Homo-oligomer: A and B are copies of this chain.
Amino acid sequence: MARTASVANTEHRRAAIVAAMLPVMAHHGYERATIQAIAREAGLTPGLIHYHFKSKQEILVELVKAIMEFARARFERAATNTTRPVERLRAYVDARLGLGAGAAPDMVAAWVMVGAEAVRQPEVRALYEQAIAAELAVLTQLLSQCLAERKRAIDAAPALAAGMVALMEGAFQLSSAAAGVMPAGYAADAAMSFASLSVAAAPRANVFKPSARPAMAVESTKASSL
């Protein structure tokens, strides 16, 4: 009933503007995500955008942070149900690929645009690298736990994590620009299969006789929407 305090109002406005930039960028890219278009999407006047943000790039930076935070939060929520490494890994993959692309295609497309801007804008690149580094760190930890649980050497975890991150980033790109030619729901399956097989194939930790028996069932991976 009572109007929120001005500070909160400003924060709300900023959040609304960032939120408005997401679909505009998803459909038109950064350069064509004009201040006018963002304002229209947010139901505001163009001048007001620059009252709340110093520059268009600042909105982009906030958008990148928001998407990062969104992904992080979704994983945290999904991972609270279990402590088993494999299940946590699956929760991570599903959070990123299973629901992500299907439930939030605009966010996925916007992220693809962010990735393209990261190629040429140093400030965006720094944020993007930070996001990728965070992904790598989380995945490396999860994979290390999976490997340790099965008494495997964890040396391969970083490279494996890198491959999974690449697969996921590529899946985002393809779901945004070539969805028509990709098989349904391949991505989460492929990611989990890659992880499972790699863990199973990893050499035993400090042991001389590796058996390399795949015990994590690949077949259990199913029903991802990307």
Report whether B225 and A102 are in contact in the complex, using a CB–CB cutoff of 8 Å: yes
The interface size bin for chain A is 35 or more
Q: Considering only CB atoms, which chain B residue lies closest to A217 in the complex?
A: B196
Stretch at the interface among A7-15, A54-62, A168-176: A168-176
Q: Considering only CB atoms, which chain B residue lies closest to A28 in the complex?
A: B120
What is the count of identical protomers in the complex? 4
Interface presence of A192 (CB below 8 A):
yes
Interface presence of A141 (CB below 8 A):
no
A15-43 to B contact mask, C-beta < 8 Å, 1/0: 00000000000111101100000000000
Report whether A192 and B218 are in contact in the complex, using a CB–CB cutoff of 8 Å: yes
Instruction: Give chain A's interface residues, CB within 8 Å of chain B.
Output: 26-29, 31-32, 86, 90, 94, 97-103, 109, 112-113, 115-120, 125, 128-129, 132-133, 136, 146, 150, 158-160, 162-163, 165-178, 180-183, 185-201, 212, 214-218, 221-226
